[in-house]
Amino acid sequence: MPDASLVLGIETSCDETGVALARIHDDRTELLVDAVASSVDEHARFGGIIPEIASRAHLEAMVPTIQRALGEADVDLGQVGAVAVTAGPGLVGPLTVGAAAAKALAVGLGVPLHGVNHVIGHAAVDEMVHGLFPERVMALVVSGGHSSLLLVDDVATDVTELGHTLDDAAGEAFDKVGRLLGLPYPGGPHIDRLAREGDPGAIRFPRGLTAAKDQARHADDFSFSGLKTAVARWVEARQDAGQEIPLHDVAASFAAAVADVLTAKTIAACRRHEVDTLVIGGGFSANSQLRELATRRCAEAGITVRIPPIRYCTDNGAMIAALGAAVVRRGLPASPLDLAVDSSMPLTQVTV
């Protein structure tokens, strides 16, 4: 018999096949299991994701990952009460594989299907880690593909996108600077590692969209393109002069600029909207300078900062099970079985 409190979450927006089970309690959402299969090793030689490889990998991993999740949680498929799946944004092929699996399960089990927003899932996953959200939270979602600031009045029904990156996502800027410095893909973790041994104050790289003139239109937006160009030209100038590139200091100074802008703008937005809880999610929240600076500045500003452990910041099924649970908890209607995935799904749209 299906148990209405048991939600299966499926995530396939990029290169991780994630399947998780959540149980809805009155006062919390409990994560029963979170199984992930990654095709990142298959992409590394290309220096990034190749959508078709990712689609095939999802197809191969889907059934085994569902079986592994059910086995580890000791749950029968027939007990699942609702199926939640990423409807977008993401890569259309991978999204389609996940949606097809979710539709088949929902039809086969005779339970509701809920298509949900991947980016909002990055915030919602923290409800399983640090408890259900208070009435209003700010969410900073930063990853290889996204850098967005969301005002979350209700994680299932009322999300406002305050701002986003106008050019490169934070993680993308790290990968491009990594490319520039000759580091392997993905560059983010390599820069993070180099940065820990460098001087973050060595080079004063620019902070995008922080000038007074940008406050009217872009107070909550980010831009990392100018920073990237500044690093490129600084490195070119050293190379032209035949000098060695101080990798540790470049990495530390670059990472400091990114963390500074992300935290300063987010905290300013919290103040402006009188929000005292900040959630940081997405793969880039693994970045150590961002974690340290956000923790310190939020403490100074009297803001409670909630950052899930790194394994819940990268793409996973738990984030979709968490958001699905929030949708089921509120008794929202199911998505149509012919729901279409949306590679550029707007961040104000939580469900389809």
Partner 1 sequence: MSAVHEVELPDAASARAWGRSLATVLAAGDLVVLTGPLGAGKTTLTQGIGEGLEVRGQVASPTFVIARVHPSQVGGPALVHVDAYRLGSLEELDALDLDTSLEDSVTVVEWGEGLAEVLAEDRLELVIDRPHGGAGLSEEDLATADAGTRRVRVRAVGPRWADVELPTGG
Q: Tell how strand 29-38 and strand 304-306 pair up.
A: unpaired
Which member of 2, 37, 47, 273 binds partner 1 (CB under 8 A)? 47
For position 166 contacting partner 1 by CB under 8 A, the verdict is yes
Per DSSP (E only), the strands in 193-340 are 277-281, 304-306
CA nearest neighbour of 153 among 326, 328, 346, 335:
326
Q: Which stretch binds partner 1 (CB under 8 A): 3-11, 74-82, 197-205, 314-322?
A: 197-205
CA nearest neighbour of 331 among 75, 24, 8, 122:
24
Q: What angle do CA 90, 96, 102 make, to 5 degrees?
A: 110
Q: Is 27 annotated as a binding residue?
A: no
For position 168 contacting partner 1 by CB under 8 A, the verdict is yes
Tokens 């950052």 appear where?
A: 307
Cβ–Cβ < 8 Å for 18, 90: no
Q: Which neighbouring-strand residues pair with 37?
A: 17
For position 25 contacting partner 1 by CB under 8 A, the verdict is no
Q: Is 75 annotated as a binding residue?
A: no
Number of chain positions touching partner 1 (CB under 8 A): 46
Residue 271 tokens read as 């103040």
For position 264 contacting partner 1 by CB under 8 A, the verdict is no
For position 144 contacting partner 1 by CB under 8 A, the verdict is yes
Residue 311 tokens read as 């394994």
Q: Considering the complex, what minimum distance in angstroms separates the CB of residue 91 from partner 1? A: 6
For position 167 contacting partner 1 by CB under 8 A, the verdict is yes
At residue 205, what is the residue type? F
Which member of 9, 18, 171, 308 binds partner 1 (CB under 8 A)? 171
For position 311 contacting partner 1 by CB under 8 A, the verdict is no
For position 93 contacting partner 1 by CB under 8 A, the verdict is yes
Q: Is 249 annotated as a binding residue?
A: no
Cβ–Cβ contacts within 10 Å for residue 215, how many? 12
| Gyration radius (Cα) of the chain, Å | 20
Q: Considering the complex, what minimum distance in angstroms separates the CB of residue 287 from partner 1? A: 16
Q: Which stretch binds partner 1 (CB under 8 A): 19-27, 98-106, 162-170, 271-279?
A: 162-170
Q: Considering the complex, what minimum distance in angstroms separates the CB of residue 79 from partner 1? A: 34
Cβ–Cβ < 8 Å for 145, 14: yes
DSSP H or E segment with residue 18: strand 16-24
Q: Is 9 annotated as a binding residue?
A: no
Q: Which neighbouring-strand residues pair with 163?
A: 149
For position 197 contacting partner 1 by CB under 8 A, the verdict is no
Please report the DSSP string for 231-254 in residue order. Answer: HHHHHHHHHHTTPPP-HHHHHHHH
For position 48 contacting partner 1 by CB under 8 A, the verdict is yes
Q: Is 126 annotated as a binding residue?
A: no
Q: Is 29 helix (H, G, I), strand (E, B) or coil?
A: strand
The mark string for 222-261 relative to partner 1 (x by CB under 8 A, - otherwise) is ---xx-xxx-xxx-xx-xx---------------------
At residue 101, what is the residue type? A
For position 175 contacting partner 1 by CB under 8 A, the verdict is yes
Q: Tell how strand 147-154 and strand 29-38 pair up.
A: unpaired
Q: Is 349 helix (H, G, I), strand (E, B) or coil?
A: coil
Q: Is 142 annotated as a binding residue?
A: yes
Q: Is 315 annotated as a binding residue?
A: yes
| Binding-site residues | 118, 122, 141-145, 175, 188, 192, 287, 315
| Binding-site residues for substrate | 141-145, 175, 188, 192, 287
| Binding-site residues for Fe cation | 118, 122, 315
- Which residues are at the interface with partner 1 (CB under 8 A)? 46-52, 55, 90-93, 96, 144-145, 164-169, 171-172, 175-176, 179-180, 203-206, 225-226, 228-230, 232-234, 236-237, 239-240, 343-344, 346
